[in-house]
Amino acid sequence: MGALLIVLAFACVAVMSAFGKAAKDVPTGILVLFQNLISLLLFTPWALGKGVSQLRTSRTWLHILRAAAGLLSQVLMFVAVKRMPLVNAVLLSNSAPLFIPLVTWVWLKERIGGMVWVSLLIGFAGVILILKPGLALLSDPIALIAISAAVFSALALVAVNQLSNTEPPRRILFYYFLYSSAAAAPFAVLKWRTPTDREWLLLGGIGLMMAASQLLIILAYKHATAGRIAPFNYTVVIFSGLIGWGVWKDAPDLLSLAGVLLVTAGGVLSTKFGGPNSSGHLGWLGYWNHVLHHEQAS
């Protein structure tokens, strides 16, 4: 059941990314505002279910750091999916497990083990195959923007894992969506134009898919440990590839396909050998097994 729920969650992530690509004419600030605002409206009743006192926190700045990193990750991901084949953009944006050991090494002074180094080498070899470094990359660095999304995602994930030591999931989610909506609002206002009917539907879909992915992941980690189901996170690549091929006729070349396989293998190995901070990814989701056990204990 845990595996099924996590697969459904990342199917929602793939659909959300596809909606972002389909809404390529909508300013990115508007996309991320609706992504977070709709989720905030849907999750606020749950967050307040045990009273306003449950939202009191002494870790405001860490919540803000997590929200800023997660929001930047989403902004960069939407920028990338608008201009890249969907599967490449989603894979690169979600390659956070390759950066988490580096973030924890710099931030938390955690040692990087031998097997983790091997997994990182495998994963980054795949990244190189997808990026195809050369003059074309210098003239159009969109793939580097997708990779930057993964870096911020890794930072956000490590931050939320630190928060989970004291904060229950309802508080973490509430402050993430609250701060992200507040930060995105000025940019959406500055770039505002009234969406078309089709764009309104896509914006609504982005927010609903974001909220659905959160709910499904929370439910998944009630049925299974993070270590057992985290590798299923990479089903997002399969779903994105199928959507990209079916809708936009994006078929990866052999080098890119080899890169996808290597990045996935590196990410799964990094998740397996990288310790608790690597047990999940996509920075706005967090290490829910740890978080939920904390909530149940409290």
Task: Return per-residue pLDDT of the chain as tens, 298 residues.
Answer: 888 998 999 999 999 999 999 999 999 999 999 999 999 999 999 999 888 988 999 999 999 999 999 999 999 999 999 999 999 999 999 888 889 899 999 998 988 989 999 999 999 999 998 887 766 666 678 889 999 999 998 898 888 888 888 888 889 899 999 999 999 999 999 999 999 999 999 999 999 999 999 888 888 878 877 667 777 888 898 999 999 999 999 888 898 899 999 999 998 888 888 766 665 544 444 444 444 444 444 4
Calpha distance 47→176 (Å, rounded):
12
The whole-number pLDDT of residue 240 equals 93
Nearest to 100 by CA among 295, 268, 296: 268
Q: What does the block give as tokens for 134?
A: 């050369």
The whole-number pLDDT of residue 253 equals 86
The whole-number pLDDT of residue 136 equals 65
**What residue ranges do the domains of the chain occupy?**
2-297
The whole-number pLDDT of residue 288 equals 44
Taking residue 25's Cβ as centre, other Cβ atoms within 10 Å add up to: 11
The whole-number pLDDT of residue 280 equals 52
Helix intervals (H) in the chain: 2-22, 28-47, 60-83, 86-93, 100-107, 114-131, 135-139, 142-163, 169-190, 197-223, 226-229, 235-248, 254-273, 288-297
Taking residue 129's Cβ as centre, other Cβ atoms within 10 Å add up to: 20
Calpha distance 61→245 (Å, rounded):
42
